[in-house]
């Protein structure tokens, strides 16, 4: 009863609902007037026909006819009377059976439901919540981050200003709090002072507003903000953001780092303490066609080849694995060992024709700039003529035209290029272009952006060698900030996973293969309790207290915990 009263108060407290309810009463008054007029007319026509009925009968007849019940116990005998009956019947259908339910639902029932929802939306985090992550919007990146936070039992809360929407999200099992994003009270309700991270994942203006609002009340909480425009980075920092992530620029730079051109060199993808994880495309290194044993990389540099990428699949490396021109080898070792490997590669002469970047938006421009910094010639294609002047300062050659047009892409130099980077903002276009470029230049390395992780397999099937998604990059950047670690981007669907050696495996040799056969994880190194890190081999002893450093997906990490920890 108390809940019902509070719902009623909530419904009636809205100005719009009060207006709607006034409208509903107005309509009911109109309906009452129509019934009264029909009852009077009933009397007059009945008297004209020579029949005598009470006022109550007139009211009763009007209601039975208007509601289409029509018992037939009282009837007119003349054409005028029947014509009147038809008019009452038709107006009854419209007024009572069509308009009344509609007005009732719109003016009362829907606002009632909405008020119920609004009351159900949480307005504050439960008592004692701390070390949580606060996100300002639920989108693909937030969903990915939430998945990872849940795996690590880290609490999170989303802010949803629209209370009924927040109630639906709450019903769907998401942790959500409703409140205006620009109100200090919202962050007080979220206990933001004790949060491990506040994520401003809106547009640049709104992110600045969030940072200013949070900072005003909580001087120490870390705030991460996404920036669409490079120029916004300073403004967001001045507004109070501790870390600003210009995601599109980062994506462009990552795409550029996946390009094979110039003298071959290793590209750092992650680090764990002293250990460096790097990858290098085998093309242009002279290693293609050899087994990993025959490359003698371990003897020459001390590095271990732990895996190889083949068209989007990370495959654990074995001594007899043959590297191909399309392989990208993943190596683990120290910084000095990587430098030694780079020095070995210098002697190979690569194809130094311009790299083609398709799409000259923010991502394409960032890719072109990053390539230019490596002194790599770039040919940029965009179909938007208004970009011509902007792009001319970044690329060596600018082609304005649709990349799917054979003339345009040939003009950009597809036949000779060592690598094509697809950066358009549409996954379907990138897939189409991957197939197209692969057909016209089967040897080119194709690197592509995707916007949705779900398209990952499809773009690899289309012919892309290396793919990076906007959302994965966003998730990994935020996760690293939430965990206060360095962002590691080994590749799509692959994380750097560190787990203590489980009691069930302590004292065994890695070569027994239990971890890889039961979980699919690839153990690349061991971090000993004395602080040293060593690369993993088949005869490595798994000592208790040490940490396993592995490559794999979050599903494989879950399988590991289920098999050996839980």
Q: Name the residue whose CB lies closest to ligand AMP.
A: 361
CB of 424 to ligand AMP, least distance (A): 4
Question: Can you point out the beta strands (E) in 58-196?
Answer: 133-135, 156-160, 176-178
CB of 227 to ligand AMP, least distance (A): 14
- Between 339 and 404, name the residue whose CB sits nearer to ligand AMP: 404
246 belongs to the binding site for ligand AMP (CB under 6 A): no
- H or E stretch including 400? strand 397-400
- Between 189 and 423, name the residue whose CB sits nearer to ligand AMP: 423
- Between 80 and 428, name the residue whose CB sits nearer to ligand AMP: 428
- Between 191 and 469, name the residue whose CB sits nearer to ligand AMP: 469
**Separation between Cα atoms, residue 564 and residue 519, nearest integer Å:** 10
Q: Note the Cα 124 to chain centre separation in Å.
A: 25
- DSSP class of 387: G
429 belongs to the binding site for ligand AMP (CB under 6 A): yes
333 belongs to the binding site for ligand AMP (CB under 6 A): no
- Between 323 and 358, name the residue whose CB sits nearer to ligand AMP: 358
Q: How many residues bind ligand AMP (CB under 6 A)?
A: 18
DSSP state string for 36-64: HHHHHHHHHHHHHHT----HHHHHHHHHH
Query: Residue-wise over 19-58: b if at least 16 C-beta within 10 A, else e?
Result: ebbeebeebeeebeebbeebbeebbebbeeeeeeeeeebb
CB of 258 to ligand AMP, least distance (A): 16
- Reference 491, options 288, 255, 260, 245; nearest CA is 255
**By CB under 6 A, what part of segment 337-366 binds ligand AMP?**
358-364
Q: Which residues contact 20 (CB under 8 A, 6 or more apart)?
A: 106, 107, 108, 111
381 belongs to the binding site for ligand AMP (CB under 6 A): yes
Q: Give the x/- contact pattern for ligand AMP in 383-412, rule: CB under 6 A.
A: xx-----------------xxx--------
CB of 382 to ligand AMP, least distance (A): 4
129 within 8 A of 155, measured Cβ to Cβ:
yes
With contacts defined by CB under 6 A, name the span among 172-180, 310-318, 376-384, 498-506 that binds ligand AMP. 376-384
502 belongs to the binding site for ligand AMP (CB under 6 A): no
Token readout for 340 is 């030694």
Q: Is 258 helix (H, G, I), strand (E, B) or coil?
A: coil
With contacts defined by CB under 6 A, name the span among 178-186, 377-385, 504-512, 525-533 that binds ligand AMP. 377-385
Q: Which of 424, 448, 455, 469 binds ligand AMP (CB under 6 A)?
A: 424
428 belongs to the binding site for ligand AMP (CB under 6 A): no
379 belongs to the binding site for ligand AMP (CB under 6 A): no
Strand 522-527 to strand 397-400: parallel, antiparallel, or no bridges (unpaired)? unpaired
Which residues make up the interface to ligand AMP (CB under 6 A)? 358-364, 381-384, 402-404, 423-425, 429
């Amino acid at each position: 009863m108390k809940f019902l009263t509070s719902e009623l108060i909530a419904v009636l407290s809205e100005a719009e609902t009060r207006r709607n309810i006034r409208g509903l009463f107005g309509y009911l008054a109109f309906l009452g007037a129509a019934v009264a007029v029909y009852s009077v007319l009933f009397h007059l026509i009945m008297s004209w026909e020579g029949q005598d009925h009470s006022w109550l009968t007139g009211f009763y007849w009007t209601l039975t006819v208007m509601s289409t019940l029509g018992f037939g116990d009282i009837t007119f005998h003349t054409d005028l009377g029947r014509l009147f009956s038809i008019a009452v019947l038709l107006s009854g259908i419209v007024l009572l059976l069509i308009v009344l339910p509609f007005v009732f639902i719109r003016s009362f029932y829907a606002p009632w439901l909405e008020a119920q929802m609004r009351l159900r939306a949480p307005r504050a985090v439960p008592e004692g919540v701390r070390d949580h992550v606060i996100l300002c919007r639920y989108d693909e990146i937030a969903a990915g981050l939430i998945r990872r936070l849940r795996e690590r039992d880290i609490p999170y809360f989303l802010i949803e200003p629209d209370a009924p929407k927040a109630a639906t999200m709450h019903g769907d099992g998401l942790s959500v709090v409703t409140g205006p994003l620009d109100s200090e009270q919202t962050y007080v309700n979220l206990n933001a002072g004790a949060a491990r991270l506040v994520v401003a994942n809106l547009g640049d203006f709104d992110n600045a507003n969030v940072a200013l609002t949070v900072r005003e009340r909580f001087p120490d909480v870390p705030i991460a903000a996404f920036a669409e425009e490079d120029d916004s980075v300073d403004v967001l920092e001045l507004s109070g953001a501790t870390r600003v992530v210009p995601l599109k620029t980062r994506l462009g730079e990552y795409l550029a780092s996946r390009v094979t051109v110039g003298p071959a060199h290793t590209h750092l993808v992650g680090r764990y303490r002293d250990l460096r994880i790097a990858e290098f495309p085998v093309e242009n290194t002279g290693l293609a066609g050899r087994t990993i044993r025959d490359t003698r990389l371990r003897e020459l540099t001390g590095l271990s080849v732990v895996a190889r990428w083949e068209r989007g699949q990370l495959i654990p490396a074995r001594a007899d694995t043959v590297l191909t021109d399309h392989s990208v080898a993943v190596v683990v070792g120290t910084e000095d060992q990587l430098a030694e490997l780079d020095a070995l590669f210098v002697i190979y002469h690569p194809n130094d024709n311009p790299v083609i970047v398709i799409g000259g938006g923010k991502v394409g421009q960032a890719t072109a700039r990053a390539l230019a910094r490596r002194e790599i010639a770039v040919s940029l294609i965009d179909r938007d003529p208004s970009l011509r002047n902007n792009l001319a300062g970044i690329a060596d050659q600018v082609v304005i035209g649709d990349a799917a047009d054979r003339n345009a892409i040939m003009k950009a130099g597809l036949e000779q290029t060592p690598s094509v980077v697809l950066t358009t903002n549409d996954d379907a276009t990138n897939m189409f272009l991957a197939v197209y470029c692969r057909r016209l230049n089967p040897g080119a390395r194709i690197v592509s952006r995707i916007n949705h992780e779900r398209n990952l397999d499809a773009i690899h099937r289309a012919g892309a060698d290396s793919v990076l998604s906007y959302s994965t990059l966003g998730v990994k950047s935020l996760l690293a900030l939430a965990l206060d670690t360095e962002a590691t981007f080994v590749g799509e669907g692959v994380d750097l996973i560190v787990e203590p050696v489980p009691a069930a495996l302590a004292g065994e040799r890695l070569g027994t293969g239990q971890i890889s056969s039961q979980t699919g994880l690839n153990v690349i190194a061991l971090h000993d309790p004395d602080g040293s890190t060593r690369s993993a081999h088949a005869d490595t002893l798994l000592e208790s207290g040490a940490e396993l450093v592995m490559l794999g997906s979050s599903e494989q990490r879950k399988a590991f915990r289920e098999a050996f920890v839980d």
